[in-house]
Amino acid sequence: MLPEKDVIFVATCDPNRQRREAVKKMVDARYGNNDCALYSDTREFLATRTDIDALLSTTGDRLHAFMAVLAMRAGKDIYSEKPSSMTIAEGQAVVATAKRYGRIYQTGTQRLSEANFVYCFEMARSGRLGHVHTARAHIAPWDAAAMRHDWLPAEPEPPKSEMDWDQWLGPCPWRPYNSAYVRGGWRGFYDFHTSCIGEWGAHTFAQAQAGLGLLDTSPVLYKYVDNPTGDGMETVFANGVRMTLHREGWFHGSCAMRFEGTEGWVEAGDGYSRPDVSDPRMLADFNKIVRDYMARTQRPMSHVRDFFDCVKSRRQPVANPEVMHRSMSTVHAANICMWLKRDVQYDPVKEEFVNDAEANRLRSRAQREPWIV
């Protein structure tokens, strides 16, 4: 965001002194001054900095939805990194808050604004692949769907000025301080993470649903697979189209997705110089397809730029709250399927599992006071 000419980065807030000072050093070096302000308490920051228009939230999974709700209540627009909710209920809260307060929200599924991926979406949506019957979505090749419910051993808690552990935890259950969490070791723990499915599925499910024209819904059926990760799980939308989860296999690169139709297939992932296609002749119109998309939608091939354009125009971004919530509901439903070790049916209109009290209890989690939204 720093290179954007109409953006001034003025402050950073983090409970970890090393992290906030590292950001300040980077920002001050960019502007050649010492002006970037430092805050350790989110509530103080939001209450006092009424001059700030928009925020970037780059916390771990556990705080994305919580921080988005707090920021929007304080009158801020927000670009939230992903996975953008820990539960279906959190996603509902983000959607409701953005609507109530009239805020602009973009989730960081940046491949919705990258040319290789947009080309694939357009090929799938336009009928060039014939009837698209299957999408394939890449999930992270580390960790498992069934996460740990224990916690790391206690270490001496650092001074609050160095690390405000209470704020770091936020709405999560109280756990003893361990420095490994702060270094990224929170992944793989149920308290903090959305599993290997959420890690990349937060990207790839939105990508798959974009190409299928189903960003306003979620699959209705999730078929359990007897492995630790969800690799090979088949999900089915109400119209019969399938989206299958893949840990490895057909793709190269990362965060890849593929669309398969009666007339051919296309796929893209990070590191692809151009999308892979079933027939090389499909790529002849690559530049035109992307240009036509940009002209029709008035979207740039920059996710960050789309956000700032929408901050100015008040138009909904490409990865708006509803897009985030529907694709993350897919993540959460897939996780719940794996946790319960059985197929589940989901009603995306009612946003509940069908005749399944056990699954419905997992749509939300208890939040620790006072970190409740």
pLDDT at residue 249, rounded to an integer: 82
* Among 276, 213, 202, 204, residue whose Cα is nearest residue 241: 213
Average pLDDT over residues 124-149: 97
pLDDT 10s digits, 285-343:
999 999 999 999 999 999 999 999 999 999 999 999 999 999 999 999 999 999 999 99
Q: What whole-number distance in Å separates Cα of residue 119 and Cα of residue 122?
A: 5
Of the pLDDT bands very low, low, confident and very high (cuts 50, 70, 90), residue 96 is very high
**What is the tens place of the pLDDT at every residue in 204-255?**
999 999 999 999 999 999 999 999 999 999 999 999 999 999 998 888 899 9
First to last CA, the chain: 28
Superfamily of domain 11-107: NAD(P)-binding Rossmann-like Domain (3.40.50.720)
Closest CA to 78 of 329, 320, 315, 332: 320
Per-residue confidence at 15, pLDDT binned at 50, 70, 90?
very high
Task: Return the structure tokens found at 189.
Answer: 């723990």
Domain 111-144+194-301+321-363, architecture per CATH? 2-Layer Sandwich (3.30)
Please state, for a pLDDT cut of 70, what percent of the chain lies above it.
100
Each residue of 260-290: pLDDT tens digit? 999 999 999 999 999 999 999 999 999 999 9
Question: What does the pLDDT read at residue 23?
Answer: 97
Largest Cα span, the chain: 62
Residue appearing with tokens 């990349």: 200
| CA-based nearest residue to 124, from 282, 13, 238 | 282
In the chain, count H helices and then E strands. 12, 14
The answer to whether the CB of 138 falls within 8 A of the CB of 246 is yes
Region 182-198: mean pLDDT is 97
Residue 373 has pLDDT above 90, yes or no: no
Domain with CATH 3.30.360.10 in the chain: 111-144+194-301+321-363
Of all residues in the chain, the percent with pLDDT exceeding 90 is: 98
Mind listing the pLDDT tens digit for each residue in 31-59?
Answer: 999 999 999 999 999 999 999 999 999 99
Q: Is 191 helix (H, G, I), strand (E, B) or coil?
A: coil
- CATH 3.40.50.720 residue ranges of the chain are 11-107
Dist. CA 184–CA 170, nearest whole Å: 16
Smallest CA-to-CA distance from 348 within 214, 206, 202, 218 is with 218
